[in-house]
Amino acid sequence: MSDKIYDVPSEWAQKAYVDDAHYQSMYAASVNDPNAFWGEHGKRIDWFTPYTKVKNTSFDPGHVSIKWFEDGITNVAYNCVDRHLETRGDQVAIIWEGDSPDESRNITYRELSSEVNKLANVLRNRGVEKGDRVTIYLPMIPEAAFAMLACARLGAVHSIVFGGFSPDSLAGRVADCGSKCIITADEGLRGGRKVPLKANVDAAIAQIEGGVDHVIVVRRTGGKVDMTPGRDVYYDEACAMVTDECPAEHVHAEDPLFILYTSGSTGKPKGVLHTTGGYLVYASMTHQYIFDYHPGDIYWCTADVGWVTGHSYIVYGPLANGATTLMFEGIPNYPSVSRFWDVIDKHQVNIFYTAPTAIRSLMQAGEEPVKRTSRSSLRLLGSVGEPINPEAWEWYYRVVGEERCPIVDTWWQTETGGILITPLPGATKLKPGSATRPFFGVLPEVVDAEGKVLEGACEGNLVIADSWPGQMRTVYGDHERFEQTYFSTYPGKYFTGDGCRRDADGFYWITGRVDDVINVSGHRMGTAEVESALVAHPKVSEAAVVGFPHDIKGQGIYAYVTLMDGQEPTEELRKELVNWVRREIGPIASPDLIQFAPGLPKTRSGKIMRRILRKIAEDQFESLGDTSTLADPGVVEDLIHNRQNKR
Ligand code: WT7
């Protein structure tokens, strides 16, 4: 079967920043002489002290070290706010669209400056200094962006915890990085439903030894919350007591900007650490070229700032470029399934970036809710978070974009800081389902299980052979884990954890995770985390969790659970376990299917054979592979016989 190909429309080749010839030459320059290339492009941000060194990186086992622009001094908030004041102080920086269509707000760069400086003063008055960690647990309200930038202004390190995470998950993340300050809201609002953020914060703090010193509470709904005197303060009251002038700290390029926790195949979530200079250069450059962002464009990324996409492509990349970025508090189907398209018309959005899971769920509602809107402002569409199936791609292209808007399918990860593999709209032919080609400076390789680099058209594991400026620098507090996780499987190379195919045109097709990580609605979930939540339940003796194909979510969570002796496998217990996991981790970790299994398939040495469990969950009973090493082959028969099925 030959892949469908969409050529670059000639208007795009003419008016975009780069056409194909330009891409080829820029890409060659970027990988042939990274120092010269990034030395030049590093100037896209303002530096208080310019760098003289550009790239100083090593992927050598035992000595992994990544530094970019290391002797440069800058400030991220200065670059995202102050430097725009003279030329575009009255331009809208952030369009905020509330959960309810009746609520929206425009914030100019001048207003943004004032808000960020006030909050920075509030934090500084509470003792927050350069290098200190601040946890942000907020809904999608402008204060989330103010909080990120206020931290950056002081050189403090923010750690955003997605508002959907439980008090337990929040507590773990606050304790791991030793935050003494949390910025939160009374309640969040999503799809008309309230989320008890402040109550979650209180529950989290109760679990943290030594607690935290300060909690700053934004009034979002005005709901009643407990305020601990001396520790908790309302955001508006604190901001009313300070001026809106606050000098930007001088920050070294390699000083940390943020920590973002992400699930891996083992253990507790890792604190992915990103630093200042290289990250901002990379986020802003990718935002400009990949979305072909031009001054005046209205740009909307539907992610939440609790994920890396929100960091790089709602806040830092767009604001560094002086863009107008839209922040949306709500969900795609509230108050109706036309909401995305209504918002596009209301704010005349030109560039729209969302996730395949959202597209698939809206696709189910048919074309009419899309077609009753205009969307004539749209020029470019983007996709991120998981492989986009060609069917969803075609629908996005034909129905949403009316065959007028190129789709950039952007592959990247929390760890990569910015997009690594993607089309450029004026340069790259599109193949539905393919993330296509590497961005400037990115050296993807496909390797086999032994690490042999494959040539030409091939399939294997995706590694990146050399550093790029947006790369994570370490796992917070655990550099050894950083090396172990990313640089030990294929020594000398960054291992992405993804499988991939490269076709004869050199285009990349990401096939999904090859480790014990599943991708649920574009969010990464470590199976080990869900398993440990399940076994923490008093009635559970053992659990094994795998992914299975899910029409909307991409992958669903399938849990095999062995109960303690004497426990009855009832429907009620099934529900109880689902709720238990929601409470322990958060709703995104809810198992879709739970199968009670008297025994799990194990090797004679007691290792669970996940390969078999995955095949059963995928309904691929015929291709279980070698089962000769099973301690008890009868277990598999039983599992197949009792496979859960919701579809
Ligand atoms: C994993 C990273 C960084 C974006 C949000 C997710 C998968 C992401 C794509 C894409 C195929 C994709 C990969 C990757 N992924 N984008 N365009 N095509 N797969 O960030 O939570 O760090 O997850 O998401 O499997 O490894 P994340």
Instruction: For ligand 1, atom 12, name the residue with the nearest CA.
Output: 386
CA–centroid distance, 379 to ligand 1, in Å, is 24
Q: Show Cβ contacts of residue 451 under 8 Å, excluding neighbours closer than 6 positions.
A: 489, 490, 491, 493
Candidates 519, 520, 523: which one to mutate for ligand 1, based on the most atoms within 8 Å of Cβ? 519
When pLDDT is cut at 50, 70 and 90, the band that residue 623 belongs to is confident
* CB-count burial class (<10 Å; 0-12, 13-18, 19+) for 641: exposed
Phi/psi zone of residue 615: left (φ > 0), alpha (ψ -120 to 50 degrees), beta? alpha
Ligand 1 nearest atom to the CA of residue 412, by list position: 3
Candidates 308, 383, 386, 523: which one to mutate for ligand 1, based on the most atoms within 8 Å of Cβ? 386
- Mean pLDDT throughout 278-287? 99
Instruction: For ligand 1, atom 17, name the residue with the nearest CA.
Output: 411
% of the chain residues with pLDDT over 90? 93
> Measured from the CB, is residue 384 less than 6 Å from ligand 1?
yes
When pLDDT is cut at 50, 70 and 90, the band that residue 2 belongs to is low
Q: Is 385 helix (H, G, I), strand (E, B) or coil?
A: coil
> Measured from the CB, is residue 269 less than 6 Å from ligand 1?
no
Ligand 1 nearest atom to the CA of residue 410, by list position: 17
CA–centroid distance, 413 to ligand 1, in Å, is 5
CA–centroid distance, 523 to ligand 1, in Å, is 8
* CB-count burial class (<10 Å; 0-12, 13-18, 19+) for 565: exposed
Going by C-alpha positions, the residue among 382, 376, 324, 401 that lies closest to residue 90 is 324
Candidates 413, 420, 494: which one to mutate for ligand 1, based on the most atoms within 8 Å of Cβ? 413
92 or 603, higher pLDDT:
92
Ligand 1 nearest atom to the CA of residue 383, by list position: 17
Residue 629 has pLDDT above 90, yes or no: no
When pLDDT is cut at 50, 70 and 90, the band that residue 411 belongs to is very high
> Measured from the CB, is residue 418 less than 6 Å from ligand 1?
no
Residue 647 has pLDDT above 50, yes or no: no
Ligand 1 nearest atom to the CA of residue 421, by list position: 17
Q: State how far the Cα of 356 lies from the Cα of 249, in Å rounded to an integer.
A: 39
When pLDDT is cut at 50, 70 and 90, the band that residue 599 belongs to is very high
Q: State how far the Cα of 378 lies from the Cα of 407, in Å rounded to an integer.
A: 11
Residue 438 has pLDDT above 80, yes or no: yes
> Measured from the CB, is residue 410 less than 6 Å from ligand 1?
yes
Model confidence pLDDT, tens digit, residues 29-75: 999 999 999 999 999 999 999 999 999 999 999 999 999 999 999 99
Q: Which amino acid belongs to residue 8?
A: V
| Spatial contact of 528 and 266, defined as CB atoms under 8 Å apart | yes
| Spatial contact of 594 and 574, defined as CB atoms under 8 Å apart | yes
Q: What is the pLDDT of residue 267?
A: 79
- Residue identified by tokens 């629908």 is 395
- Mean pLDDT throughout 359-387? 97
For the record, the structure tokens of 387 come out as 């492989």
CA–centroid distance, 325 to ligand 1, in Å, is 22
Q: State how far the Cα of 326 lies from the Cα of 534, in Å rounded to an integer.
A: 38
DSSP assigned state of 365: T
Q: What is the pLDDT of residue 646?
A: 54
When pLDDT is cut at 50, 70 and 90, the band that residue 643 belongs to is confident
For the record, the structure tokens of 591 come out as 């198992």
Model confidence pLDDT, tens digit, residues 221-259: 999 999 999 999 999 999 999 999 999 999 999 999 999
| Spatial contact of 110 and 90, defined as CB atoms under 8 Å apart | yes
Q: State how far the Cα of 438 lies from the Cα of 28, in Å rounded to an integer.
A: 11
For the record, the structure tokens of 240 come out as 């009313």
CA–centroid distance, 522 to ligand 1, in Å, is 7
Q: State how far the Cα of 117 lies from the Cα of 95, in Å rounded to an integer.
A: 19
Q: What is the pLDDT of residue 466?
A: 98
Going by C-alpha positions, the residue among 623, 638, 562, 560 that lies closest to residue 592 is 560
What are the φ/ψ torsions at residue 234 (nearest 5 degrees)? -75, 135
* CB-count burial class (<10 Å; 0-12, 13-18, 19+) for 583: middle
Is the interface score ipTM higher than 0.90?
yes
> Measured from the CB, is residue 304 less than 6 Å from ligand 1?
no
Instruction: For ligand 1, atom 20, name the residue with the nearest CA.
Output: 413
Candidates 514, 524, 525: which one to mutate for ligand 1, based on the most atoms within 8 Å of Cβ? 524
Lowest mean pLDDT of 123-127, 184-188, 204-208, 266-270, name the range.
266-270
> Measured from the CB, is residue 435 less than 6 Å from ligand 1?
yes
Instruction: For ligand 1, atom 21, name the residue with the nearest CA.
Output: 524
CA–centroid distance, 353 to ligand 1, in Å, is 14
> Measured from the CB, is residue 106 less than 6 Å from ligand 1?
no
Q: What is the DSSP code string of 404-458?
A: TS-EEEEB--GGGSS--B---TTT--B-TT--BSBPTT--EEEE-TT-PBP-SSE
> Measured from the CB, is residue 262 less than 6 Å from ligand 1?
yes
Q: Report pTM.
A: 0.97
Q: What is the pLDDT of residue 244?
A: 98
CA–centroid distance, 465 to ligand 1, in Å, is 19
> Measured from the CB, is residue 386 less than 6 Å from ligand 1?
yes
CA–centroid distance, 8 to ligand 1, in Å, is 25
Q: State how far the Cα of 143 lies from the Cα of 220, in Å rounded to an integer.
A: 10
What are the φ/ψ torsions at residue 352 (nearest 5 degrees)? -130, 125
Average per-residue pLDDT in the chain?
A: 96
> Measured from the CB, is residue 513 less than 6 Å from ligand 1?
yes
